[in-house]
Amino acid sequence: MFVWLYWIITLTIATYASVYVIKKMPENGFTVLTAFYVVYLAASQVLATRIIVFDLGFYSFYAPAAVFIYPFIAQVVDMINEVYGERRTHISILIAFATQVLFVLFIGMVTNLSPAPFFELEDAWKSLFGLSIRITIASWVSFMVCSNLDAWVFAALKKRFFDKEKNFKHDTLINPYIWLRSSASDIVNLTLDSLIFVFIAFYGVMPVLPLFIGQLISKNIIGFLDNPWFVLYKKMLER
């Protein structure tokens, strides 16, 4: 229960803070959204080292703990796209990718240093942060392909239904065209990310189907639950 409470609080803080900066300090909006993007992405790399049980009551499966926050990465892509357009979204993706390359290089650099003789957590450190080349490549490829595809799908749907969205006469919170572009772009991103990452990282080493199904279900469930925060973000921007 507390996990979901923390999840709600963090999403709400990130959403309200983004809207506040965009409206009150528009010159800093892109920077703040990209910063949230980088923080969530870096955190997901660390949280992915812990495998947890998802119990739906009628079905249980295993997935990295990062699935709790990784879908919000897809939402931040949408948040940037909504305000700053597709071109600047691709720039933000490149910035985030560069930070993750540095993140992995820093870990590799420190891991290759000799530990102090009294440091008793060396084995734990290496088991948690000793990223294999294959998993690192899988993460980078899936991120670049899926994030850029997300940006393109979101922008295409926004352009396709622009007039219908503007002519919608009811509250923004129930505007189906806003829900459509947020949900569809995230589904494409999270589904393809699960497929690419699991296939590259584990094919021939572990059974990929159970791993793919676990990530597919968990990421898309959390991704769907994230959508109200994007719609709230959109509504607050219009005030």
Using one digit for the tens of pLDDT, what is the confidence trace for 7-52? 888 889 989 999 999 999 989 999 999 999 999 888 887 777 777 7
* Residue 224 near residue 189, CB atoms below 8 Å: no
Tell me, what's the pLDDT at 132? 63
Please name the residue that has the structure tokens 């990530």.
Answer: 215
At residue 131 the predicted structure's pLDDT band, cuts being 50, 70 and 90, is low
Mean pLDDT of 74-93: 94
Q: Rounded to an integer, what distance in angstroms lies between the CA atom of residue 12 and that of residue 92?
A: 22
- Can you give the pLDDT at residue 56? 67
CA angle 189, 91, 184 (to 5 degrees): 20
pTM: 0.88
Cα 205 to the center of its chain, rounded Å: 26
**Is 129:104 a contact under the CB 8 Å cutoff?**
no
Tell me how far CA of residue 178 lies from CA of 40, 51, 68, 113, 158, in angstroms: 23, 33, 23, 50, 8
Model confidence at 233, pLDDT cuts 50, 70, 90, reads: very high
Residue 200 binned pLDDT confidence (cut-offs 50, 70, 90): confident
Amino acid identity, residue 51?
I
Q: Is the pLDDT of residue 166 over 80?
A: yes
